[in-house]
Structures are given as structure tokens and as C-alpha cells.
Amino acid sequence: MRSPADVPDTRTRILEAAVNRFGQDGFDASLRAIAADVGVSAPAILKHFDSKEELRRACDEHVVDVTRKYKTEAMRSADLRATFLTQMAMVDEFQPLIRYVVRSLMNGGDAARNLLTDMYGEAERWMAEGVRTGVMRPSRDERARVKLTFSISLGWMLQSVLMADKELGELDADFWRQTTHELMPPALELYTHGLLTDSTLLDAYVSDRTEPLSDSDPPADPPAGPDTTPDTA
């Protein structure tokens, strides 16, 4: 619960309400509905955001900023255990953000790609902080590791939603609480102890693989055969 000094300003209240409403009802939710959640008028929202599209972009930034704040706090904590348990106790407060991200991914399109790109970038930064402070091991490919960890956490949430017998907006706090707590033990076990007992497969793959062509590399010319004649046109 916030202290009186932490009461958010109107812009932040609008963002929090919009994240919740978009996640619950979809991105077709009206400004009028968001305004009612905040206790202001729809024109009042447009004093802070020029359009509904700008509001959604600001919601993306809000979700990324909140995630960065808590992840960076954990990576820099002198008592990681206490910080982790405190944040896990706040799981209900994070539910609107999780639902918003899931909604965006399920909708797809440029907006989802932009949100994921922003989340990847911030995750690279807070993971680098974790490596710096000794909380995390370094990776030979930090960007790829970020994408893998996202596929685990977001993939878990997406499959849980898809397997539920209700629509996304109908899933209640108990669902998100249970889904989060079911994810944590296997994820933490995998991140802490790993999966394979030795590096046989990793060593084999790294030593044997060939680098794929990048998008900027032209395809190789086909080999000349007996029936091939030069193009003189």
C-alpha cells in the first residue's frame, strides 16, 4: 500500500488505470471507461495525452519502467533474499502489468513488437547489472539469453491463459497468483542449477556450428555447370 507521500499524480493514475483497462478489456476500451476508473472526464485524459494511441505508447513505457525499477532493485540489493520475498509479496500489484503484456502479445502487430523490443533492451541492462554485482553469471550471448528467459516467463503466462476456460479479461487475481507461483519453482531451479549434468551438448554445438548469413550478406552464386552460360544482357 502506498503512503500518503507516494500518492501518484493524475498522469500516473491515468496510466495505471489504462494499463489495467486495456489488459482487461482489450485495446478497444474507450477513454470514457478509463476516465471513469480514474474519476476524471475523458477530455481530462486528453490534456495529458494527445490521443488514445499516445496513451497506449505511454502505457508501454510505464510497464517497461516499472519492470526495470524492480528488476534493477533486485540486482543491486545487498539482501537479495529479502528483496525477492518482498517483491513476491507484491504479486497482486504486478498483475495488471502482466495482463497488459499478455494482451499486447496476443494482439500482435507493430505495437507488440515495439513493446518486446523495449523490454528486451531494458532486460539487457538490468541483467548486465546482475552480472556486475555477482548475482548472475555472464553469458556468451547476453541478448540471446534475454530472449530465452522471456520465452520462459512470457511463454508460461501465454500458455496458462490459452489453457484457461475463460477469456483473458475474465481471469481473476487467483488465476494470476497461482500462475506466478507455479512458474517460480521450476524457473528458479533451472536458473540456479541448470538442466544438463555436463557441457557435452553445448561444447558439441559450439564447436560444430557454422555462422549463418546475416541479412546484409548476399547469397552465394550458384556453381557453374556445363549448361550454364554467362548472362551478357
Tens digits of residue pLDDT in 198-230: 999 999 999 988 665 444 444 444 444 444 444
- pLDDT bucket at 104, cuts 50 / 70 / 90: very high
* Cβ atoms of 179 and 157 closer than 8 Å: yes
pLDDT for residue 128 is more than 60:
yes
Mean pLDDT of 78-103: 95
Integer CA distances (angstroms), 174 to 20, 70, 170, 179, in order? 16, 22, 11, 8
CB atoms closer than 10 angstroms to residue 128: 15
pLDDT for residue 89 is more than 90:
yes
Please name the residue ranges forming H helices in 39-172.
42-48, 52-76, 80-88, 91-107, 109-133, 142-163
Which own/partner pairs from 178-181 qualify as long-range (CB within 8 Å, at least 24 positions apart)? 180/91, 180/98, 181/91
Single pTM value for the model: 0.83
pLDDT for residue 178 is more than 80:
yes
pLDDT, residue 134, reads: 96
pLDDT for residue 40 is more than 50:
yes
pLDDT for residue 149 is more than 50:
yes
How confident is the prediction for the chain on average, in pLDDT? 89
